[in-house]
Structure 1
Amino acid sequence: MKNEKTKNTYNRLRFLGQLVPQLICLYVFFMAKQNEGLGQRWYAIHTYSGYEENVSRNLRQRIESLDMEDKIFDILIPTETKIKIKNGKRKTTREKIFPGYVLVSMVVTDDSWYVVRNTPNVTGFIGTGVIPTPIDDKEIEELQRRMGVEDPTYNIDVETGDTVKIIDGPFKEFEGKVSDVDVARGKIKIIISMFGRETPVELDFLQIKKV
Structure 2
Amino acid sequence: MDEAKWYALQTEAGKEVVAKENLLKVLALEELEDLVEEVVVPAEERVVIKAGGKEKYRLSLHGNNRDISVLGRKGVTTFRIENGTVRVIEAPEGDTCIEAPPISKPGQKIVCKENKVEAKIILDSKMFPGYILIKAKMNDKLLRVIEKTPHIYRPVLVGGRIAPIEEKEVERILNFVKKGVKPTKVPFEKGDQVRVIEGPFMNFTGTVEEVNPQKEKLTVLISIFGRLTPVELDFSQVERL
> What stretches of structure 1 of length at least 5 have no aligned partner?
1-35, 154-183, 192-200
TM-score by length of 2: 0.47
Pairwise CA distance, 1:116: 0.8
Match for residue 140 of structure 1? 170
Q: Residue 152 and residue 107 in structure 1: after superposition, are their counterparts in 2 closer, same or farther (change >3 A)?
A: same
Within a 5 Å distance, the mapping from 1:49-198 to structure 2 comes to 49-80=13-44, 90-92=57-59, 94-95=123-124, 96-128=126-158, 131-151=161-181, 185-190=186-191
**Larger Cα Rg: Structure 1 or Structure 2?**
1
* TM-superposed deviation, 1:117: 1.3
Q: Matches of 1:107 and 1:94 in 2, distance apart? A: 27
Measured in 1, the distance between the counterparts of 2:163 and 2:190 equals 43
Indicate the SS of the match to 1:187: coil
In structure 2, the CA distance between the partners of 1:150 and 1:98, relative to structure 1 (3 Å rule), is closer
Q: Secondary structure in 1 aligned to 2:38?
A: strand
Would you say how many aligned residue pairs link Structure 1 and Structure 2?
133
Summarize deviations over 1:80-105 as a string: whole Å, max 9, x none: 25799xxxx65336422111101011
Q: Distance in 2 between matches of 1:102 and 1:131?
A: 18
Q: Give the 3-state SS of the residue equivalent to 1:97 in structure 2.
A: coil
More helix as a share of residues: 1
C-alpha RMSD over aligned residues: 3.4
Of residues 93-102 and 66-75 in structure 1, the stretch that sits farther from structure 2 once superposed is 93-102
Normalising to structure 1: TM-score of the pair?
0.53
Structure 1 residue 187, shift from structure 2 partner = 1.4
Percent of aligned positions with the same letter in both sequences? 23
Could you tell me which amino acid in structure 1 is paired with residue 164 of structure 2?
Answer: P
- The 1-side partners of 2:140 and 2:176 are apart by 32
CA apart distance, 1:137: 0.7
Following superposition, the deviation at residue 151 of structure 1 comes to 3.7
Unaligned 5+ segments in structure 2 are 49-55, 60-121, 193-206, 221-229, 231-241
Tell me which protein shows more strand as a share of its residues.
Answer: 2
Map of 1:205 onto structure 2: 211
Could you say which structure has the greater relative contact order, defined with CA pairs below 8 angstroms and 6 or more residues apart?
2
